[in-house]
Amino acid sequence: MRVILFFLLSVFFSTIALSEPISLVAQSSISTDGWFPLSEDEIKAAGINTALSELNSNGRFIVVDSNIGPASTSYAGTLQIELFLVNAAELVKLSAKLQLPDCATLFSAASVSVRGMDQQGIFEALKQVGKQVADGLDTSNLADNCAPTTSLASAALFESVRELMQLGGYSEARSILRYIADVTTHGHSRWHSVAVDELRFHLPIAEAETAVRQVAEGDFIAMRAAYAKQEDLYSQSIAANTHDAVRIEAIEIRLDELAINRDTLKKKIWNASVAALQQFRQELQVLHSNSEQWPTEDILRTHLELLAPAFSIVNYRIKDGGMELTVKDSRYADEATFFGDRTDLFFAESDVRPLPPRRSNP
């Protein structure tokens, strides 16, 4: 059995001697021949993920694992990682091959016997070979054989950023842009300016618009969170673009649209809460009609738990034959208030009839 897993690794060449990280797209695979001493997720986590984490932490690579598959040709090279579990020999083996155009190919491999080991021992053995393989990919000897330029690498990484943004990988794209901005401060002002500009305006605006498009229709909770994220990103953009009146105006227009959308969502949430309370409202009217008085809070709570379990009582008071009841919708953290007099019961915010005056607490 063979499971193909894709990982996107993005890094940056900033010197001719390859002293900076390398831009790669990596493909990894697991071959078990039907032998699964651990689950597939555990095998991947212990062997492959350990290798990738080690590569990311040692400064030679910046790993952007978005599980989106290999992009186009916008990376400086390729990395192939293969993990083998050999049942007959009770052996695990991990190998990695790093290839750069017009450069030497690096190869690293490690294996260990797992004979007699329990599951925890096998897991630790896989972690061991993952670390050994990562440590074996030494890029220091490539300097004499290849020399990619900063300009070409920067252009390639900006293409990576575009692809990540199209796929919703904004955190990964932001990491790459920040890296470019940090390492291109001297002698590469063009790339520095472009990276900073993307971070200040284009990326947060695109991320804000995507946040809403990704929410499923009718998911009010997720939509409210998306609107909050939009507002935060727009606010960050305003703070970062105070020098640009045109951009400020464009962001303020989006904020105005956001305010309208939030108001619309608020009405939808209110309507959903009212709909969920209709049966309870009818029952409350019946209780009042049968006894010609409003029920106790304990009775109300019992009926509310039965007919509208998402709600809880916030406030309930009876005075001069009238009643006021406020309940809270746990789904949306919103409140709804009923008013009742001697003859009728209605929602404060939804009914057309005028509200009775607010009474002070007795």
With a cut of 70, say whether residue 276 has pLDDT above it.
yes
With bands split at pLDDT 50, 70 and 90, how would you rate the model's confidence at 191? confident
Higher-confidence residue of 69 and 217: namely: 217
* % of residues, the chain, pLDDT over 90: 15
Number of Cβ within 10 Å of residue 161's Cβ equals: 25
Give the span between the Cα atoms of 201 and 209, in whole angstroms.
Answer: 12
With a cut of 70, say whether residue 165 has pLDDT above it.
yes
With a cut of 70, say whether residue 4 has pLDDT above it.
no
Burial of residue 203 (number of CB atoms within 10 Å: 0-12, 13-18, 19+) = buried
Give the span between the Cα atoms of 87 and 83, in whole angstroms.
Answer: 13
Q: What's the confidence (pLDDT) of residue 227?
A: 94
Higher-confidence residue of 43 and 139: namely: 43
Do residues 62 and 56 make contact, with C-beta atoms less than 8 angstroms apart? yes
Q: What's the confidence (pLDDT) of residue 289?
A: 83
Higher-confidence residue of 190 and 248: namely: 248
With bands split at pLDDT 50, 70 and 90, how would you rate the model's confidence at 189? low
Find the mean pLDDT for residues 97-101.
70
CA 293 vs CA 141, 142, 290, 318: distances in Å: 89, 88, 8, 9
Strand order from edge to edge, sheet including 2-9: 2-9, 24-31, 77-86, 91-99, 106-113
Q: What's the confidence (pLDDT) of residue 130?
A: 87
Give the span between the Cα atoms of 121 and 359, in whole angstroms.
Answer: 71
For the segment 101-159, what is each residue's pLDDT rounded down to a tens digit? 556 577 788 888 888 888 898 889 889 888 888 888 766 655 444 544 455 556 667 77
Q: What's the confidence (pLDDT) of residue 239?
A: 94
Any residues with CB less than 8 A from the CB of 163 and at least 6 apart, and which?
A: 71, 72, 74
| DSSP strands (E only) in the chain | 2-9, 24-31, 77-86, 91-99, 106-113, 311-319, 322-329, 334-340, 345-347
Q: What's the confidence (pLDDT) of residue 71?
A: 44
Do residues 98 and 55 make contact, with C-beta atoms less than 8 angstroms apart? no
With a cut of 90, say whether residue 226 has pLDDT above it.
yes
With a cut of 80, say whether residue 343 has pLDDT above it.
no
Q: What's the confidence (pLDDT) of residue 347?
A: 65
Give the span between the Cα atoms of 21 and 156, in whole angstroms.
Answer: 14
Find the mean pLDDT for residues 92-104.
73
The least confident of 229-233, 235-239, 301-305 is: 301-305
Do residues 311 and 334 make contact, with C-beta atoms less than 8 angstroms apart? no
The least confident of 5-14, 135-144, 206-215, 224-233 is: 5-14
Q: What's the confidence (pLDDT) of residue 358?
A: 34
Q: What mean pLDDT is reported for the chain?
A: 76
With bands split at pLDDT 50, 70 and 90, how would you rate the model's confidence at 58? low
Higher-confidence residue of 356 and 21: namely: 21
Any residues with CB less than 8 A from the CB of 268 and at least 6 apart, and which?
A: 220
Any residues with CB less than 8 A from the CB of 148 and at least 6 apart, and which?
A: 13, 18, 76, 100
Q: What's the confidence (pLDDT) of residue 283?
A: 86
Give the span between the Cα atoms of 287 and 293, in whole angstroms.
Answer: 8
Any residues with CB less than 8 A from the CB of 45 and at least 6 apart, and which?
A: none
Q: What's the confidence (pLDDT) of residue 214?
A: 85
